[in-house]
Structure 1
Amino acid sequence: MQRETAIRCEDGHLLAATLFIPDTVKAAVMVGPATGIRRQFYTHFATYLASQGFAVITYDNRGIGESLQGTVKDSDASLVCWGQKDMPAVFSELQAQVPDVPYFLVGHSAGGQLVGLMHNASDFTAMCNFGSSSGQLSNMRPGYLLPAHFFMNVYIPLNNLLFGHTKAHLVGMGEPLPKQVARQWQQWCNGQGYVQTAFGREVKSHFYDAIHFPSKWLIAEDDDIANLANVQDMLRVFPNMNAEVTLITPSEHGLTQVGHMGFFSRRCKSLWPIISDYLLSFVDGH
């Protein structure tokens, strides 16, 4: 069963979400989207997980897709409030809809990076991410460094100045981004440890030190952003987490490319059992 729903955050903001509920539920999964990516991008992956016995929730962060209220120029959304307000509300809704089962986070890029801002993150049994890393510019390969610097340090500031938001869709970077989302993304990728850059400033308190659950971090060999150095840089922010890193070589799975976005597309469905098998290993009877 697939149905649309609306989730009210603690500050009253409504988020658009989709629930996938199989006839027999073994566990439940929250899919954390990448920056500026609408929930429909994950529909085929969520449908696959439901076929494996997982209840799944996908959602649009505030300021993105159907969770945008008003115009993107007027949105006060930020990466911080995505982690502190949106993600906890979505997780609480999943727990309310599917009680008393193991809960997992499957994060794509920012969807895994921001988990330490969630006050209820300790309720997860485990986490499996794809393409989640610090995105630190200085660790990127030379061939990608120039376009990455241009997008972060020229395109974002110029767009925010001229339009009051970042037209990320014009350069293939997802939906139009609220100003604060783009600004924080720029600042965090220019520093070390991604969100750690904001500790003590925009992030007054967090739960990264309190996360102890097991995690699997998947990266593709041809991902220009989430390379091994940037994954290790991100993992420093989770000092007490049990983490394993798996490098995916596309050719070993009959694929020509995976990159930063391809994992959740149907052409890469041969990779999806990597996540479902990992999550099922924590479910009773497996």
Structure 2
Amino acid sequence: MQPAVPVTISCADKTALSALLYLPGESPVCAVMLAPATGIKQRFYSHFARYLAEQGIAVLTYDNRGIGDSPKHAQIMANATLQCWGQQDMPAVLAYLQNKFSPIPLHLIGHSAGGQLAGLMHNAEALSSIVTYGSSSGSLRNFAAPYKYKAHFYMNLFIPLTNLLCGQTQSHWLGMGEPLPKGVGAQWRRWCNGQGYAKTEFGSRIHQHFYDRLTQPALWITATDDEIVVPENVDDILSLYNNLRVTQQHISPGDYELAELGHMRFFSKHSQACWQSIVDWLLGHSFNKKCSTASH
């Protein structure tokens, strides 16, 4: 396998995102955009991306604007939102894959927000399938104590307070990835206090979306020890993706002789035993797509 290749992704508004392309040794069977969780840098996914590349799958990781090696200047940190991650950054990443790898099948792997935001992508119908880990609506109303109190503290006290005092959400103070642009934190707060994640702002801030247009097969993976992803909130986010053909996979760390998966450790190099099912899914749905295309 080749070393990861640095790539610059140009968004429609001219924002240039930092990305890394992991290529297999031979022509890829399919290509994947790996959409990160809120505030998580792309290098967090390097072991997972390399593993997929070793199985013949090209993988493009990236940093959303305001995160990692992507632009963090004052204007970005003042104006970036979850919505523009979904409407600007993610479509640009997929367009890069379309330009570079068409006509091979393209897939999305979304971690948490990376799966939640896919319905905001104007070009998401080009995806052959969607795979998510840890994606739910995050609706505060469905959490049980004691996590409910932690979630309310973070969303309704920590976010507005650090936005006010520091001009950004200081997520790193709590070990939650990178500092967030204040608009990302503020919109995240509103969506988690509502219902249906982005649905909270349909018709107000969000005037166009594509959640109900997506009809692809989707693999929705959750872990038994992920306190953030409760069943009610999985149902809540899937109510937006009401036309996806969803296969739910609820896994336990004990099934793979692991101590923990939680919300983050699925992508750790120690969790490699969990990854083969994703490879099988991607290869299977790439083969099915090629066969369908050939028949026409």
Please state which band the TM-score falls in when normalised by the shorter chain. Answer: over 0.9
Name the counterpart of 1:38: 41
Scaled by the length of structure 2, the TM-score of the pair is: 0.94
The equivalent residue for 2:9 is: 7
| Residues 190-210 of structure 1 deviation map (CA, whole Å, 9 limit, x = unaligned) | 111001001011111000110
Question: Once the 2 structures are TM-superposed, how far is the Cα of residue 74 of structure 1 from its aligned partner?
Answer: 4.0
CA distance in 2, matches of 1:274, 1:137: 31
Shift of 1:229: 1.4
Secondary structure of 1:5's aligned partner = strand
CA contact (8 A) 1:49 1:56 kept: yes
Partner of 2:19: 17
Q: Distance in 2 between matches of 1:15 and 1:283?
A: 27
- The structure 2 residue matched to 1:183, chosen from 183, 186, 194, is 186
C-alpha contact 1:141 1:224 (8 A) present in aligned 2? no
Matched, 1:128 2:131: yes
Select between 262-271 and 72-81 the one with higher mean Cα deviation.
72-81
Deviation, structure 1 residue 283: 2.3
Q: Deviations over 1:85-144 (max 9, x none)?
A: 000000111122222101110000000110011010000010110000001112123121
Any idea what the Cα deviations from partners look like across 1:150-188, whole Å, max 9, x if unmatched?
Answer: 001000010111111111001011100001100011111
The alignment's TM-score, normalised by the length of structure 1, stands at 0.97
Matched, 1:231 2:228: no
Within the alignment, does 1:156 sit opposite 2:159 as a pair? yes
Letter in 1 for 2:280: D
Q: What is the correspondence of 1:243-254 to structure 2 with a 5 Å cutoff?
A: 243-254=246-257
1:192 counterpart = 2:195: yes
Q: Give the structure 2 partner of residue 258 of structure 1.
A: 261
Contact 1:73 1:179 in 2 (8 A): no
SS in 1 for 2:250: strand
Identity level (%):
48
1:223 is displaced (CA, Å) by 0.4
Counterpart residue type for residue 178 of structure 2: E
Query: 1:22-43 CA deviation, whole Å, 9 max, x = no partner?
Result: 1231000000000000000011
Query: Which structure 1 segments of 5+ residues have no match?
Result: none
2:103 to 100, 106, 110: 100
Match of 2:294 in 1: none
* Residues matched between the structures, number: 286
Q: 1:85 aligns with which of 54, 64, 88?
A: 88
Residues 55 and 98 in structure 1, CA contact (< 8 A), matched pair in contact too:
no
Q: How far, CA to CA, are the matches of 1:74 and 1:170 in structure 2?
A: 17
Q: What is the alpha-carbon distance in structure 2 between the residues aligned to residue 145 and residue 238 of structure 1?
A: 25
Name the SS for the 2:83 alignment partner.
Answer: helix
Deviation at 1:277, TM superposition (A): 1.0
Matched, 1:137 2:140: yes
1:62 corresponds to 2:65:
yes
Cα deviation, residue 280, structure 1: 1.2
